[in-house]
Amino acid sequence: MSGSNFVDYVKVCCRSGAGGAGSAHLHRDKKTAKGGPDGGDGGRGGHIIVRGNKQFWTLLHLKYRKHIIAEPGQVGGSALKTGRQGKDEILEVPLGTIARDAETGEVHFEITEDGQTEILTPAGRGGLGNWHFKSPTQQTPRFAQPGEPGREEWKILELKILADVGLVGFPNAGKSTLLSVVSAAKPEIGDYAFTTLVPNLGIVAYRDSKSFVMADIPGIIEGASQGKGLGIRFLRHIERNAVLLFLVPADSKDIHAEYRILLNELKQYNPELLDKPRVLAISKSDMLDEELVLEIKKDLPDIPHLFISSVAQKGLQELKDLLWKTINA
């Protein structure tokens, strides 16, 4: 999933189909000169529908499709024939997509399951044919109901990645390296800040053929909740992670202080994030001896923690065990 291909926000204009008009036809054939009403109903217009697809990871396919237009319904026919329904427009989206109104910001629904379908913009209903209006006092109504107009609305589709574990840490903390070692994901890795510019997902193999999903979120810096660095663009993805894995490198000047800054940025963005289970991993710990490890432990926050090294493969199985236990607590 390259940076240019990852799109997690699109704004689209949705125009659903208008309903077809009902028919005001009166029955006529070679044996019937003045038959009764037999006008059929108009068909409904096409809906704009959103459908979850687990094969999709991005909204890239909708980025340049600004106008989504569904077909109108067809008019009713004679002999009580109902007009054909307009074809629905179906938008395939990744799991974790939220649909909201662009004007009010109101959330309509969330797509969390493969195959889940929701109507984003409903179509107009078809009009009733004249036979519906037949009565003892009006046996040959020569009118029918028009179809309802479709709707034209601006909608926002926003992706929040679904993952069991979300990696939280400053740029260059070793998040991408960890993900590349414990999963088959191949994120871009470099010895400079903001190597990761988009979220990356990896499936972590666990014991007995079990697995869980880990997300590498682009690095947070102090002030990210106010828009600094990469800003809040990717903080939204952390909202969908079941467990937050804080990664702080062993060569940090103050591990506890760095952890508090990260925690504060999450709190400023969304205080509910602090309710999620948290695990702290001290990365790059292959450079520490036992004496330094004991010294660092004295000042660590009161949450489950361990020392790991992705390069030296140190503590990774213990980390998986702890994460699995936390996910399933």
* Domain of residue 197, CATH code: 3.40.50.300
Question: Over pLDDT 90: what percentage of the chain?
Answer: 56
277 and 312 fall within a common domain: yes
pLDDT (mean) for 39-50: 98
What confidence score (pLDDT) does residue 135 get?
A: 93
| Residue in 145, 143, 126, 138 with CA at minimum distance from that of residue 25 | 143
Give tens-digit pLDDT for 258-312.
999 989 988 888 899 899 999 999 998 988 888 888 888 888 989 999 999 998 9
What confidence score (pLDDT) does residue 94 get?
A: 92
What confidence score (pLDDT) does residue 232 get?
A: 55
145 and 45 fall within a common domain: yes
Task: Indicate if the pLDDT at residue 157 is higher than 70.
Answer: yes
Q: How far apart are CA 2 and CA 228, in angstroms?
A: 23
143 and 191 fall within a common domain: no
Beta bridge partners, 278, equal 244
Q: Mean of the per-residue pLDDT values for the chain?
A: 87
- Which of 138, 159, 180 is the endpoint of a domain? 159
Q: What domain count does the chain have?
A: 2
104 and 193 fall within a common domain: no
- Which of 134, 159, 184 is the endpoint of a domain? 159
3 and 125 fall within a common domain: yes
5 and 129 fall within a common domain: yes
Q: How far apart are CA 306 and CA 170, in angstroms?
A: 18
What confidence score (pLDDT) does residue 186 get?
A: 64
CA distances to 59, 89, 112, 237 from 119, in Å: 18, 10, 15, 24
200 and 144 fall within a common domain: no
239 and 109 fall within a common domain: no
Six-digit token string for 236: 């939204």
> What residue numbers bound the domain in which 179 lies?
163-327
201 and 115 fall within a common domain: no
- Which of 128, 159, 190 is the endpoint of a domain? 159
Query: What is the CATH number for 65?
Result: 2.70.210.12
Question: Over pLDDT 70: what percentage of the chain?
Answer: 90
256 and 283 fall within a common domain: yes
Binned at pLDDT 50, 70 and 90, residue 171 comes out as: confident
205 and 72 fall within a common domain: no
Higher-confidence residue of 228 and 60: namely: 60
108 close to 119: Cβ distance less than 8 angstroms: no
Six-digit token string for 304: 């489950």
What confidence score (pLDDT) does residue 123 get?
A: 98
168 and 278 fall within a common domain: yes
Task: Indicate if the pLDDT at residue 238 is higher than 90.
Answer: no
What confidence score (pLDDT) does residue 32 get?
A: 82
Task: Indicate if the pLDDT at residue 137 is higher than 70.
Answer: yes
What confidence score (pLDDT) does residue 233 get?
A: 60
Q: What pTM does this model have?
A: 0.72
Six-digit token string for 161: 């990645």
What confidence score (pLDDT) does residue 217 get?
A: 78
Alpha helices in the chain (DSSP H): 175-182, 235-238, 255-269, 290-297, 316-327
Q: How far apart are CA 210 and CA 323, in angstroms?
A: 13
- Cβ-Cβ contacts under 8 Å for 259 (sequence gap 6 or more): 246, 248, 280, 301
